[in-house]
Amino acid sequence: MTYTGDGRRQRVVARTRAEILHAAARAFSRTGYRSVTMRAIADEAGYTAASLYTYFRSKEEIVTALRKLVREEFEAVIDEPPPSHLGFPDRFELLVCHLLEHAERRSDWFLLFLSVLQSNQHSAETKELPDALLAVEQTRSRVARWFEEHGNAQDLGHHDPSDLARFFSGVIQSFLASWLLEGTPPGGLTRRTAVIVELLLHGVTGLRDRNQPCGDARIVGMDPRPSVGGEVSSPRPLGIENE
């Protein structure tokens, strides 16, 4: 939907759309996607149904906008520069930690997306939108760029950053799906940070103190290796022995 006008008008429109999206997410999380109507979303947002249609033509369009917003938020987390004094292992751990923390904050939205899939409702409008696989590939390319920017060849085990990004994305999505299906206990996902980092950096035989809090775990029992700029040492990465 295209809007014209000065910057102030555009900011008002953007803020209103954001308010509607958050209200819709609350409504969907209470009763599920199928039972929520556009009028119910308007009531939740504090608007009339007629004004709601000015910003969104259907609840399918609202869900599509929510998906786009979630993807943009995750991409912003990926794009956030880590502290420059950290070596690759700690930079990587911060990335995992921040992604999982954000996933927990948006748990209701992920449950909504599951509800939409279960409802098996796909409008013609939705089919005209960019394929979901393309969105996944765009996010994967961002992760690949993160590996390129924050790890050297030795950090990455001399593997293609794109392959590492695919592996990383699959692991994160798997843990997220299990967490959602098991009832989304608060903090349950971020507490898996150490396990995810251990598996991705060191494989099944890596050693790590799993009792350390998120963002403060330290690698133990590994031979040090130089990291980006030679600032901090790092172990053999991603559980794959260098050839």
pLDDT for 207 equals 53
pLDDT tens for residues 3-49? 455 788 888 989 999 999 999 988 888 888 888 999 999 999 999 99
Angstrom distances, CA of residue 109 to CA of 127, 150, 163, 189: 21, 30, 28, 15
Range 108-134 burial, b when 16+ CB lie within 10 A, else e = ebbbbbebbeeeeeeeeeeeeeeeeee
Residue 219: CB partners within 8 Å, gap ≥ 6?
Answer: 89, 201, 202, 207, 208, 234, 235
pLDDT tens sequence across 191-206: 999 999 988 888 776 5
Domains of the chain, earliest start first: 1-57 (1.10.10.60), 59-239 (1.10.357)
What are the helix and strand counts (H, E) for the chain?
10, 2
pLDDT recorded at residue 120: 54
Q: What is the mean pLDDT of the chain?
A: 79
Burial per residue of 20-42, b for 16 or more beta-carbon CB atoms within 10 angstroms, e otherwise: bbbbbbebbbeebbeebebebbb
State the residue for tokens 């991705």: 200
DSSP designation for 81: P
